[in-house]
RNA sequence: GCCGGAGUGGCGGAAUGGCAGACGCGACGGACUCAAAAUCCGUUGUCCCCUGUGGACAUGAGGGUUCAAGUCCCUCCUCCGGUACCA
C-alpha cells in the first residue's frame, strides 16, 4: 500500500500551484480590507517605500513577509485587517534616479512602482491594491499642500534666511535630521553651509511632547533612545555676563547657557561662537583683524572639518574685551572659538576649565587660569592635569561654598532670579525642520508672495506641479520651478494684484508624514481623510520597517500627528502604537545588498528556483525577526525540502488504511498537535517566526515518522492534517490551499479558515520524565505518573539504586523537588 | 566618551532561573541506483576512561547570588548600530 502510494504520488510542483491559485484568490478578493461592522480593526503598515530602480531584493522580503504573515493570521483570527501599500514617490531619491537615467521622474515612478507591485504579487504579499496611493498624485499632494497651509495658519511654518546645511554633492539643502553627523543622508558626503532663505516647520515647539510621549510607546528601546538623544532636552540656566568694549564703551548683555551653574565661580573666560552677531562691535582695534580673519576662516569650514579639527586642538582668538561674572564680579577675557556652536544655547558660553574638558583644553593652550570650585569629596584634588566633571561640593564659591552641586544649582538659580542676572532654562538640541527644497520633484509649496500682502496661502488646491522637460537643479540656490515663468506669475488671492508663486517644493519627508492617515480612506475627495474611517483604523496597530528612519520620518510623523490633534482633526496623539524594526539581510559578501555592489539576490530568482512558499518560509525561518542575518541559498533548499515532505506526508496518508485504534498513539498525536498549535500561535503573535517554523517542522517530522500508524488514529489523523494546513496557511499559502483542496476539507480556501485553538487537557500526559540531580548534576531519570506529588517524587528518587549508591548510605541534607520536572538531592 | 543591542557547536540559531545546543544548514556513514540527482535511515560540542543506563569540561573573561545560572547581580573584554565640542 505504502509503496503504491509513493509510486503514484504526484511530485510537488510549486509552479503549477502558483499558476493555479493566483487567479483564484484574485477573483475571490481575499486581500480586500475587512469591512464587517462587528469586527475589530487591525491596521498593519509597512513603511511606504520609494520604489527604486533596483526593485525588491530578498532583504526587503525580511520586512514584507513577516507583516504579511501577521495580517493573514489576524484575518483568520476574525479581525478586519487593513494592509495597504503605496509609493513615497516625491522627493530626492526618485528625482536623482530620473536625472541619472534621463527619464522624467513621473515616468520613473510609474515604471518602478510597476516593478514593485509585480514583485509584491510574486511573493503573494496580501496587500489591498484597491487602496494603493502615490504621493506624487495630485489627489494626494493637494492634501499635503492643505496641511502645509494648516501649519502656516497655525504659525508653525515660517520662512527665514540663514546658514543652512547644504550637500554640495546632491546640490540640495538638508534638514538637520538629514544632515546628522555632518553627513548627507543620501550620498554620505560632507555637508557644508550655505546662506539661503528657506521654509521651516516649528517642530521645536513640540520638543517636550515628542519627548514625553515616547514613554508609552511600544517601540524598540534603541529607537526611543535615539529620539530622546536627538531631542536632547537639557536643564540648566541662562546667566547674563556684562561685556564692555574698553575703547568704544559699547556695552552688551551676554547671556550664556550652562547646565553647571554650580561651577560659575570657576568661570575664567567666556567664548563666543564665530557666528555670534555683534562680534565686530566688541573687538578692540588691536585685535580686530585677527578676530575677523578667524571668524571668516571658521565659517568657511564644514561642520565635519570643525569637529574633526577640534579633536586635535582647540583654536580661538582673544577679542580684547572682558565680561563680568555676575556672581563674583570678576572680569574675565572674552574669546571667539569654533568649539562653541552657533545653533545651540545662546551661541556663547561661560568657560570653566576646572570642570569641563573642552574648556580645560582651551585654557591650557591659551594659558588661562584654571580655578577649582567643585570637589567630589570636599577636598581639592587639583585640576591642572584634567578637568573634574563630576558633581561634588562647592569650594571658593562665596555664599554657596560647601553646598552639594545639586542644591547649589537650585539656590544659585534662585539667586539669579532675585538679582535679575539670569533664570533657570531648558534647552533642546532639536532644531526646526527645514522643509523647502529648490527641486522640481515635490509638492509645490502653496504660498503666493505678494508685495502688498506678503506670503499668502493659495487655497485653490492642488497647486499643480508644472510640466517641465528640464527639471535639473543647478547651483544657484533657486528652484528649477523659477524657470516656469508662466506658472510663477499669478495674482494675489487677497488683493488681486500681481504676485509670484513660491517656487520651492516640499521635502519628501513631508509627504510621508501623513500617508498612514490617507490609507484609511484613500479615495476620499473633499477632504484629506474620512474622520470616521480614521477613527476606526488608527492609530496604526503595527508599523514595521528598518531602523534608519529613527530620527527622520518617525519623528516627523509624530510631530505631524500632534499638530493635527491640536487642530482637532484626530483624537490620538501618536500615530504608531507598536513599532518593529526588521533586521537587514546581508549579502553573501558580508555587505549590505545593493545594486552597485552587485550582491543583490532577488525574490524573482528564488521564486523561480524554489517557489514563493519556500522563499516565504525561509525568510521566516532564517533567524529572529530583528536580527541582521547573512543570506544563504543553502538554507532555502532546506525549507523547500520541508515543503516536499509535507506534500508527501499529507498525500500519502490522505486515505489511511483502516486499522485497529491505538489509544497510546491517539494520546501522543493529540499532545503533539496541541503543542504545535499552541507554539505556533504564541510564536507568530510574538514575532518569533523562526521558532514557529521549527515547531511545524518538528510536528511534520512526528507525522512523517508515524505515517504507517495513521489509520490507528481514526479521524484524528485527518483532523491533525487539517490543523497543520491551517497553521501553515499564513506562511505558505500555495501548498496549504492545494493540499486543503486535495484533502476535500470544507471551504473554498484555507486562507479563510478560522485559526485553530488547542485544548490544554491534551497537553497533560499520563507520565512524565523526572530528572534526578545530586548537587545539581543529573545522575538519573525516572518516568512517573504526571500527578505524582513532591513527597512521593522524593521517596522514589531516593530509592533508586543509582542514587543510593551515590549517597553511600548517608542521609541527604536537603532535597528540592519541582513536581513534573526534577528532584535535586544535596548530600 | 555617551546611548542602545549582542557575544552559545563547523554555520544560522533554540532554551518561563530547572535536562545547554530545539529546528535547520553543512559534514560524515549507510540504503536505493549501472551511476548521479532526489529521497530515506543513522552519526555529528570537546575531552577522558574501567566503553557505560560512565565521567569531566563547555554558552566572551573573571567574580558573586542560588539547591540549581546561557538566563539574575558586579567588574572587565570584544563586536554591531546610533551619536558626539549641545556648554
Q: A148-194: per-residue pLDDT in tens? A: 999 999 999 999 988 888 888 888 889 988 888 888 888 888 888 88
Range of lowest pLDDT (A135-144, A395-404, A728-737)? A395-404
Instruction: Among all protein residues, pick the one whose CA is nearest to the C1' atom of B25.
Output: A635
**Nucleotide nearest A427, from its CA to each C1':** B86
Evaluate if residue A6 carries a pLDDT over 50.
no
**Nucleotide nearest A626, from its CA to each C1':** B5
Instruction: Report the distance separating Cα A656 and Cα A659, nearest Å.
Output: 9
d(CA A700, C1' B43) / Å: 22
d(CA A291, C1' B86) / Å: 24
Q: A579-591: per-residue pLDDT in tens? A: 999 998 888 777 7
What pLDDT sits at residue A643? 95
- Are residues A258 and A350 in contact, defined by beta-carbon separation less than 8 angstroms? yes
Instruction: Among all protein residues, pick the one whose CA is nearest to the C1' atom of B82.
Output: A226
d(CA A505, C1' B9) / Å: 57
Instruction: Report the distance separating Cα A712 and Cα A374, nearest Å.
Output: 83
* Between residues A328 and A598, the one the model is more confident about: A328
Considering only the C-alpha atoms of chain A, give the largest distance between any 2 of them, rounded to a whole number of Å. Answer: 112
d(CA A46, C1' B8) / Å: 33
Evaluate if residue A201 carries a pLDDT over 90.
yes
Query: Average pLDDT of chain A?
Result: 90
What pLDDT sits at residue A4? 38
**Nucleotide nearest A776, from its CA to each C1':** B68
CA A111 to chain centre: 28
**Nucleotide nearest A771, from its CA to each C1':** B19
d(CA A793, C1' B66) / Å: 22
Q: A31-49: per-residue pLDDT in tens? A: 999 888 899 999 999 999 9
**pLDDT tier, A741 (very low <50, low <70, confident <90, very high otherwise):** very high
Instruction: Among all protein residues, pick the one whose CA is nearest to the C1' atom of B55.
Output: A779
Evaluate if residue A1 carries a pLDDT over 60.
no
Instruction: Among all protein residues, pick the one whose CA is nearest to the C1' atom of B68.
Output: A776
Highest mean pLDDT, choosing among A243-257, A588-602, A682-696 = A682-696
DSSP character at residue A404: B
**pLDDT tier, A390 (very low <50, low <70, confident <90, very high otherwise):** confident
Dihedral angle sign, alpha carbons of residues A288, A292, A295, A298: negative
Instruction: Among all protein residues, pick the one whose CA is nearest to the C1' atom of B38.
Output: A641
* Between residues A9 and A317, the one the model is more confident about: A317
Q: Which backbone phi and psi does A665 adopt, to 5 degrees?
A: -65, -40
Residue spans of beta strands (DSSP E) within A408-497: 422-427, 433-434, 436-437, 447-450, 454-457, 489-491
Q: A757-777: per-residue pLDDT in tens? A: 999 999 888 888 888 888 888
**Nucleotide nearest A236, from its CA to each C1':** B87
d(CA A259, C1' B63) / Å: 38
| Bridge partner residues of A563 (DSSP) | none
Mean pLDDT for the stretch of residues A793-810: 78
d(CA A696, C1' B58) / Å: 30
What pLDDT sits at residue A3? 37
The neighbour count for residue A79, using CB atoms within 10 Å, is 19
What pLDDT sits at residue A62? 92
**Nucleotide nearest A820, from its CA to each C1':** B18
Evaluate if residue A203 carries a pLDDT over 80.
yes
CA A206 to chain centre: 19
Instruction: Report the distance separating Cα A755 and Cα A723, nearest Å.
Output: 9
Evaluate if residue A124 carries a pLDDT over 90.
yes
Instruction: Among all protein residues, pick the one whose CA is nearest to the C1' atom of B4.
Output: A222
Strand B bases near protein CB (under 7 Å) are 3-5, 12-16, 18-20, 22-26, 38-41, 53, 55-56, 67-69, 80-87
**Nucleotide nearest A258, from its CA to each C1':** B87
What pLDDT sits at residue A126? 96
Evaluate if residue A312 carries a pLDDT over 70.
no
**Nucleotide nearest A629, from its CA to each C1':** B12
**Nucleotide nearest A260, from its CA to each C1':** B87
Let me know the angle formed at the C-alpha of A82 by A30 and A758, rounded to the nearest 5 degrees. Answer: 70
Evaluate if residue A5 carries a pLDDT over 90.
no
d(CA A591, C1' B40) / Å: 38
d(CA A780, C1' B52) / Å: 13
d(CA A731, C1' B82) / Å: 33
| Bridge partner residues of A770 (DSSP) | A782
d(CA A806, C1' B51) / Å: 21
d(CA A633, C1' B37) / Å: 18
* Beta-sheet pairing, A133-134 with A86-87: parallel
Q: Which long-range contacts (CB under 8 A, 24 or more apart) does A184-190 make?
A: A185/A552, A186/A92, A186/A93, A186/A96, A190/A302, A190/A304, A190/A305
Percent of chain A having pLDDT more than 70?
98
Instruction: Among all protein residues, pick the one whose CA is nearest to the C1' atom of B54.
Output: A779
**Nucleotide nearest A348, from its CA to each C1':** B87
Instruction: Among all protein residues, pick the one whose CA is nearest to the C1' atom of B22.
Output: A694
d(CA A632, C1' B69) / Å: 34
Instruction: Among all protein residues, pick the one whose CA is nearest to the C1' atom of B3.
Output: A225
Instruction: Among all protein residues, pick the one whose CA is nearest to the C1' atom of B69.
Output: A776
- Are residues A428 and A207 in contact, defined by beta-carbon separation less than 8 angstroms? yes
Task: Tell me, letter by letter, the H, E, C secondary structure of A725-763.
Answer: HHHHCCCCHHHHHHHHHHCCCCCCCHHHCCCCCCCHHHH
* Beta-sheet pairing, A157-167 with A192-201: antiparallel
Instruction: Among all protein residues, pick the one whose CA is nearest to the C1' atom of B66.
Output: A776
d(CA A697, C1' B40) / Å: 17
Helix axes A92-101, A105-122, angle to 10 degrees: 110
d(CA A664, C1' B26) / Å: 37
**pLDDT tier, A309 (very low <50, low <70, confident <90, very high otherwise):** low
Range of lowest pLDDT (A46-50, A631-635, A666-670)? A631-635
What pLDDT sits at residue A464? 94
Mean pLDDT for the stretch of residues A380-390: 82
Amino acid at each position: 500500500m505504502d509503496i503504491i502510494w509513493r509510486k503514484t504520488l504526484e511530485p510537488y510542483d510549486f509552479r503549477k500551484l502558483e499558476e493555479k491559485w493566483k487567479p483564484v484568490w484574485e477573483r475571490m478578493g481575499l486581500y480586500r480590507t475587512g469591512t464587517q461592522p462587528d469586527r475589530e480593526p487591525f491596521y498593519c503598515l509597512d513603511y511606504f517605500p520609494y520604489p527604486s530602480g533596483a526593485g525588491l531584493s530578498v532583504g526587503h522580503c525580511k520586512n514584507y513577509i513577516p507583516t504579511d504573515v501577521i495580517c493573514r493570521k489576524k484575518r483568520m483570527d476574525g479581525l478586519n485587517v487593513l494592509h495597504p501599500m503605496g509609493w513615497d514617490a516625491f522627493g530626492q531619491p526618485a528625482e536623482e534616479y530620473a536625472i541619472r537615467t534621463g527619464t522624467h521622474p513621473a515616468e520613473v515612478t510609474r515604471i518602478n512602482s510597476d516593478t514593485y507591485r509585480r514583485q509584491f504579487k510574486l511573493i503573494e504579499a496580501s496587500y489591498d491594491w484597491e487602496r494603493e496611493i502615490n504621493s506624487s498624485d495630485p489627489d494626494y499632494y493637494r492634501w499635503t499642500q492643505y496641511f502645509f497651509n494648516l501649519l502656516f495658519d497655525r504659525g508653525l511654518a515660517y520662512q527665514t534666511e540663514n546658514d543652512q546645511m547644504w550637500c554640495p554633492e546632491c546640490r540640495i539643502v538638508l534638514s538637520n535630521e538629514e544632515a546628522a553627523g555632518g553627513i548627507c543622508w543620501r550620498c554620505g558626503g560632507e555637508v557644508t553651509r550655505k546662506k539661503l532663505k528657506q521654509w521651516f516647520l516649528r517642530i521645536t515647539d513640540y520638543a517636550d511632547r515628542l519627548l514625553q510621549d515616547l514613554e508609552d510607546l511600544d517601540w524598540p528601546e534603541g529607537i526611543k533612545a535615539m529620539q530622546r538623544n536627538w531631542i536632547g532636552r537639557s536643564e540648566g540656566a541662562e546667566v547674563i555676563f556684562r561685556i564692555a568694549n574698553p575703547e568704544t564703551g559699547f556695552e552688551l548683555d551676554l547671556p550664556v547657557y550652562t547646565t553647571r551653574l554650580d561651577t560659575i565661580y570657576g568661570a575664567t573666560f567666556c567664548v563666543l561662537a564665530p557666528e555670534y552677531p555683534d562680534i565686530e562691535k566688541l573687538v578692540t582695534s588691536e585685535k580686530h583683524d585677527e578676530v575677523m580673519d578667524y571668524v571668516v576662516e571658521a565659517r568657511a569650514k564644514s561642520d565635519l572639518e570643525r569637529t574633526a579639527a577640534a579633536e586635535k586642538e582647540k583654536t580661538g582668538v582673544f577679542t580684547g574685551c572682558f565680561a563680568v561674572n555676575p556672581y563674583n564680579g570678576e572680569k574675565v577675557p572674552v574669546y571667539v572659538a569654533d568649539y562653541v556652536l552657533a545653533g545651540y544655547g545662546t551661541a556663547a558660553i561661560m568657560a570653566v576649565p576646572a570642570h569641563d574638558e573642552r574648556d580645560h583644553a582651551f585654557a591650557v593652550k591659551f594659558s588661562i587660569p584654571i580655578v577649582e570650585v567643585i570637589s567630589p569629596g570636599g577636598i581639592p584634588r587639583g585640576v591642572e592635569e584634567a578637568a573634574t566633571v563630576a558633581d561634588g561640593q562647592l569650594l571658593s564659591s562665596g555664599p554657596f561654598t560647601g553646598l552639594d552641586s545639586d542644591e547649589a544649582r537650585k539656590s544659585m538659580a534662585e539667586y539669579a532670579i532675585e538679582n535679575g542676572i539670569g533664570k533657570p532654562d531648558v534647552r533642546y538640541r532639536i532644531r526646526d525642520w527645514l522643509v523647502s527644497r529648490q527641486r522640481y520633484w515635490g509638492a509645490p509649496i502653496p504660498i503666493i508672495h505678494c508685495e502688498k500682502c506678503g506670503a499668502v496661502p493659495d487655497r485653490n488646491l492642488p497647486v499643480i506641479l508644472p510640466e517641465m522637460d528640464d527639471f535639473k537643479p543647478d547651483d544657484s540656490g533657486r528652484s528649477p520651478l523659477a524657470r516656469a515663468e508662466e506658472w510663477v506669475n499669478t495674482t494675489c488671492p487677497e488683493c488681486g494684484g500681481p504676485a509670484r508663486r513660491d517656487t520651492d517644493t516640499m521635502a519628501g519627508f513631508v509627504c510621508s508624514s501623513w500617508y498612514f492617515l490617507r490609507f484609511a480612506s484613500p479615495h476620499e475627495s473633499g477632504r484629506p481623510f474620512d474622520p470616521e474611517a480614521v477613527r476606526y483604523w488608527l492609530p496604526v496597530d503595527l508599523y514595521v520597517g528598518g531602523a534608519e528612519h529613527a530620527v527622520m520620518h518617525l519623528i516627523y510623523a509624530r510631530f505631524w500627528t500632534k499638530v493635527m490633534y491640536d487642530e482637532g482633526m484626530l483624537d490620538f496623539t501618536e500615530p504608531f502604537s507598536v513599532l518593529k524594526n526588521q533586521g537587514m539581510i546581508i549579502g553573501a559578501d558580508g555587505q549590505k545588498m545593493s545594486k552597485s555592489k552587485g550582491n543583490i539576490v532577488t525574490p524573482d530568482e528564488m521564486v523561480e528556483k524554489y517557489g514563493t512558499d519556500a522563499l516565504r518560509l525561509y525568510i521566516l525561518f532564517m533567524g529572529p525577526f530583528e536580527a541582521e542575518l547573512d543570506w544563504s541559498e543553502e538554507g532555502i533548499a532546506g525549507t523547500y525540502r520541508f515543503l516536499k515532505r509535507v506534500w508527501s506526508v499529507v498525500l500519502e496518508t490522505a486515505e489511511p488504511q483502516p486499522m485497529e485504534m491505538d489509544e497510546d498513539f491517539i494520546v501522543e498525536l493529540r499532545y503533539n498537535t496541541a503543542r504545535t498549535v499552541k507554539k505556533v500561535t504564541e510564536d507568530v503573535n510574538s514575532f518569533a517566526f523562526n521558532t514557529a517554523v521549527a515547531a511545524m517542522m518538528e510536528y511534520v517530522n512526528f507525522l512523517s515518522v508515524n505515517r504507517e500508524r495513521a489509520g490507528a488514529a481514526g479521524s484524528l489523523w485527518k483532523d491533525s492534517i487539517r490543523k497543520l494546513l491551517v497553521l501553515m496557511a499564513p506562511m505558505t499559502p500555495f501548498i496549504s490551499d492545494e493540499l486543503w483542496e486535495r484533502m476535500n476539507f470544507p471551504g473554498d480556501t484555507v486562507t479563510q479558515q478560522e485559526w485553530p485553538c488547542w485544548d490544554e487537557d491534551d497537553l497533560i500526559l499520563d507520565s512524565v520524565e523526572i530528572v534526578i540531580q545530586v548537587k545539581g548534576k543529573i545522575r538519573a531519570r525516572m518516568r512517573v505518573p504526571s500527578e505524582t506529588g513532591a513527597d512521593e517524587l522524593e521517596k522514589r528518587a531516593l530509592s533508586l539504586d543509582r542514587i543510593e549508591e551515590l549517597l553511600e548510605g548517608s542521609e541527604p541534607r536537603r532535597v528540592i523537588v519541582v513536581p513534573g520536572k526534577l528532584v535535586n538531592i544535596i548530600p
